[in-house]
Structure 1
Amino acid sequence: MEYWNPAYECMSREEMTRVQTERLIDTVKRVFHNVPHYRRKMQEKGIEPGDIKSLEDLKKLPFTYKQDLRDTYPYGLFAKPLSEIVRIHASSGTTGKQTVVGYTRKDIDTWAEVMARTLYCAGANMNSFIQVAYGYGLFTGGLGVHYGAERIGASVIPISGGNTKRQIQIMKDFGTTILACTPSYALFIAEVMEEMGIKKEELQLEAGVFGAEPWSDSMRKEIEERLGILAIDIYGLSEIIGPGVASECKYKCGLHIQEDHFIPEIIDPVTEEVLPPGSKGEIVFTTITKEGLPLIRYRTRDISSLNYEKCECGRTIVRMSKVSGRTDDMLIIRGVNVFPSQIESVLLEIGETAPHYLLIVDREGTLDTLEVWVEMTQNMFSDEVKRIEEIEKRIRGEIETTLGISAKVKLVEPKTIERSEGKAKRVIDKRPNR
């Protein structure tokens, strides 16, 4: 069977509208009565739950921003008492304050459901061996895929990230058929396989579900050729549920959004007006089944478009185009969200350098690299080499602690970094076809 839940994945547009409307009305009532933040925002706009009667009324509701989660840190947007929250995850924020998300038992069940559909999109079933090489822990990737794999009755190999030679050996010995990781890590695995002298024909890999970072079609082709698999793109945000929000199928013509759980809109990021189907803009999500952390019109900052035509695979749920960029300055490096302001915070806390810095992002082989140039003060410029190396090491350690990724730090001469009268150019991204 090609679908995990055909009743919803192949539902008529009329029936989907009915389901979404019913669930939206219920969600709005719940957040109004249980979340003071939403009640205040709705009252400021002169809206009451009774005003929301159809999907057309969705645009009357206020937007939710990542900053709202920070302002109410850690549990201020939860709609259920903490006694009903059975899982807490978090993702990094711009100033080190994490974005906290909570799940009830029903939310975990929903997460397993949407990930089961995602894995079926990749051709997985109960006979599959699914190697989960996304990170486990506070990051939602590992456990999200894990739940979906268990839901369909597949054999889960919960290896997490890293230790690449062991990953490959386990793939070979255990008969892994589905690989789940970031696309850049999949390419790195292919490189290490070649170094180890292991051919793709020695593995039983059939497909990969790759997400957590932007990747191009040329990267997809390279992964497919070097690993001999079908490579599909998956999309998710911790705030919405984690992985499982949307997924490509084998036809790779957009990512199917599980819209019985998440209503998408495309808006103009400047005017905030809702754009018609097919228009490119910022994708916004409203969760309509989540209990712990329901979000209304969440601004993702991701640029995409929506296609409501039936897919060749038979699914009728709406498809979003591959994310083509962002409306803010966030970078995704090796699956980790990185904001220039995080680097700035580290430098200001250390306080021994000038406040001028530049992030140089590149790709060596298949893995992203981050180099941070920091200007020395005039006083530092005359310091001995050992002293400069000590400061570089300290900055490097603080960046790794704050961001969770390694970076090369280079102290440069005063006035080396270009000045601008307008918005400072903080990032040079040299990655090809990103």
Structure 2
Amino acid sequence: MYWNKTYECMPREQLEELQLDRLKKMVNRIFHQVPFYREKFQEMGIDPGVVQSLDDLKRLPFTKKTDLRDNYPYGLFAEPLSKIVRIHASSGTTGKPTVVGYTRNDLAMWSECAARSLVCAGADANSVVQNSYGYGLFTGGLGIHGGAERLGASIIPMSGGNTQKQLMLMRDFGTTHLTCTPSYASFLGEALADAGVDTAKMPLRAGIFGAEPWSENMRRDIEKKLNIKAHDIYGLSEICGPGVAIECQEQEGLHMWEDNFIPEIIDPHTLEALPDGETGELVITTITKEGIPLLRYRTRDITHIIAEPCACGRTHRRIARITGRSDDMLIIRGVNVFPSQIESAMLDIGEIEPHYQLIVRREGTLDTLEIKVELSESLSLNTISELEGIERRLKERIHSIIGISAKIMLVEPKSLPRSEGKAQRVVDLRNI
């Protein structure tokens, strides 16, 4: 099932012609309407005419998150405020937020992408979508909301938090699709079990989860707890929010809506473009945005492009599941460590829950990693040696994946902090 088959299944040659035409117009706009980009081009000795093919994209400058902060609040806008109908901002915890403005056409484009994404997860006009992403400056809530309205689905604008009310509405309103962070989905699954709810008797059939990295093991855990099919969705405030890319029913990567966004993969160290299939940092160029078009935006998200055709019939290339971020990646004893790697290793063990906390310390000149992880509620241990056995297997499994040793601390079920938004997985106590 498709929302907009004409665009979603457009032949690659035709899609790339459309991309090039839109890219040329976008580059011309930012050169003439955004001083920041004009200065960048002039420093490099180039002008908009340099773009004659999609391959010429790599000749253009990057945009970083710091560029948005340095031009706070409206310095990167390509339209006057009189044409900006909505403003969102990032939820950063330090410094000034990144500010993004939307014209009416931008909101229409965003709703279109979000509607396509909902359909990829099996939603239609008869669906009841419980939207448990946060509303407000965060783009998650309103992004999904616009897509559901565009689709004609019934949207429940629940926002995050108030878990007991979430459960009540889920049952009473007949929710078919749940949207929230994967960590909160797992938490809701626990809460339903605690309430004695049989999820098999609920109409809930699919979930659309994003805003934080998660693993295949966590997907299986959520699907088991909620009795649903869990879809990974990708978006970021600077580009537009949720709906940049999503898994279709095949769940073999996330289709990026390439009539609006051009993805690239670069080596985050050399900044050189990498071929399809190689893992690196995702870079996105917006080619239809009016309010704040971004050229080669460095997302810091680590993935690779899947160029092979998808069995669903959509021709837009896919990105693999995000494995982490190049800027919040932990470097421990010279080793790059992503929390999602450790999460996957933990769930392979099978006797623990997907609730954990990584604590990094520096003792003298040596970094240490401690992992607190909850035991499964269903686990019945009779001896200390059984507990030690779980610790040993987990320690060996993590060492085999990340190459360093970690101290394992098994804790009681539900003893670690829960989050109704993005889970706080890492506590870095090093002064670096």
TM-score interval (norm. to shorter): 0.7 to 0.9
| Equivalent residue, structure 1, for 2:367 | none
Map 1:353-372; keep pairs closer than 5 Å.
Answer: none
* TM-superposed deviation, 1:270: 1.2
Alignment: residue pair count: 356
| Equivalent residue, structure 2, for 1:322 | 321
| Equivalent residue, structure 2, for 1:138 | 137
| Equivalent residue, structure 2, for 1:204 | 203
| Equivalent residue, structure 2, for 1:305 | 304
| Structure 1 pair 138–306 and aligned structure 2 pair: CA distance change class (3 A) | same
| Structure 1 pair 407–63 and aligned structure 2 pair: CA distance change class (3 A) | closer
| Equivalent residue, structure 1, for 2:403 | none
| Equivalent residue, structure 2, for 1:221 | 220
* TM-superposed deviation, 1:151: 0.4
| Equivalent residue, structure 1, for 2:26 | 27
| Equivalent residue, structure 1, for 2:162 | 163
| Equivalent residue, structure 1, for 2:108 | 109
| Equivalent residue, structure 1, for 2:38 | 39
Map 1:34-433; keep pairs closer than 5 Å.
Answer: 34-93=33-92, 95-329=94-328
Q: What amino acid maps onto 1:65 in structure 2?
A: K
* TM-superposed deviation, 1:329: 2.5
Q: What amino acid maps onto 1:293 in structure 2?
A: I
| Structure 1 pair 132–374 and aligned structure 2 pair: CA distance change class (3 A) | farther
Q: In 2, Cα distance between the equivalents of 1:112 and 1:41?
A: 31
Q: In 2, Cα distance between the equivalents of 1:282 and 1:244?
A: 19
The alignment partner of 1:47 has SS state of coil
* TM-superposed deviation, 1:13: 1.0
* TM-superposed deviation, 1:406: 8.6
* TM-superposed deviation, 1:202: 2.9
CA deviations over 1:169-204 (Å, ceiling 9, x no partner)? 101100000000001111100111111111102311
| Structure 1 pair 62–135 and aligned structure 2 pair: CA distance change class (3 A) | same
Per the normalisation by structure 2, the TM-score is 0.78
Per the normalisation by structure 1, the TM-score is 0.78
CA deviations over 1:203-231 (Å, ceiling 9, x no partner)? 11010000001111011001111111110
* TM-superposed deviation, 1:328: 1.3
Kept in 1, the 8 Å contact 2:183–2:423? The answer is no
* TM-superposed deviation, 1:96: 2.9
Kept in 2, the 8 Å contact 1:188–1:367? The answer is no
Task: Report % sequence identity.
Answer: 60
Q: What amino acid maps onto 2:26 in structure 1?
A: T
Kept in 2, the 8 Å contact 1:185–1:366? The answer is no
Q: In 2, Cα distance between the equivalents of 1:23 and 1:406?
A: 39
Q: In 2, Cα distance between the equivalents of 1:408 and 1:271?
A: 27
Kept in 2, the 8 Å contact 1:79–1:291? The answer is yes
Q: In 1, Cα distance between the equivalents of 2:247 and 2:424?
A: 31
RMSD: 2.5
Q: In 1, Cα distance between the equivalents of 2:426 and 2:58?
A: 45
Q: In 1, Cα distance between the equivalents of 2:216 and 2:156?
A: 27
Q: In 1, Cα distance between the equivalents of 2:362 and 2:180?
A: 32
| Equivalent residue, structure 2, for 1:384 | none
| Equivalent residue, structure 2, for 1:8 | 7
Q: In 2, Cα distance between the equivalents of 1:296 and 1:185?
A: 33
| Structure 1 pair 425–252 and aligned structure 2 pair: CA distance change class (3 A) | farther
Q: In 2, Cα distance between the equivalents of 1:198 and 1:183?
A: 20
* TM-superposed deviation, 1:309: 1.5
| Structure 1 pair 278–292 and aligned structure 2 pair: CA distance change class (3 A) | same
Q: In 2, Cα distance between the equivalents of 1:230 and 1:293?
A: 35
* TM-superposed deviation, 1:405: 8.8
* TM-superposed deviation, 1:234: 0.3
Q: In 1, Cα distance between the equivalents of 2:222 and 2:320?
A: 20
* TM-superposed deviation, 1:268: 1.1
Kept in 1, the 8 Å contact 2:357–2:427? The answer is no
The alignment partner of 2:109 has SS state of helix
Unaligned runs of 5+ in 1: 332-361, 376-402, 411-416, 418-423, 427-434
Q: What amino acid maps onto 1:259 in structure 2?
A: E
Q: In 2, Cα distance between the equivalents of 1:150 and 1:116?
A: 8
Kept in 2, the 8 Å contact 1:79–1:292? The answer is yes
The alignment partner of 1:22 has SS state of helix
Q: In 2, Cα distance between the equivalents of 1:219 and 1:171?
A: 22
Kept in 2, the 8 Å contact 1:103–1:291? The answer is yes
Kept in 1, the 8 Å contact 2:302–2:322? The answer is yes
Worse-matched range after superposition: 220-229 or 288-297: 220-229
| Equivalent residue, structure 2, for 1:338 | none
Kept in 1, the 8 Å contact 2:110–2:147? The answer is yes
Unaligned runs of 5+ in 2: 331-345, 364-420
Kept in 1, the 8 Å contact 2:103–2:290? The answer is yes
Kept in 2, the 8 Å contact 1:188–1:366? The answer is no
| Structure 1 pair 98–205 and aligned structure 2 pair: CA distance change class (3 A) | same
Q: What amino acid maps onto 1:269 in structure 2?
A: P
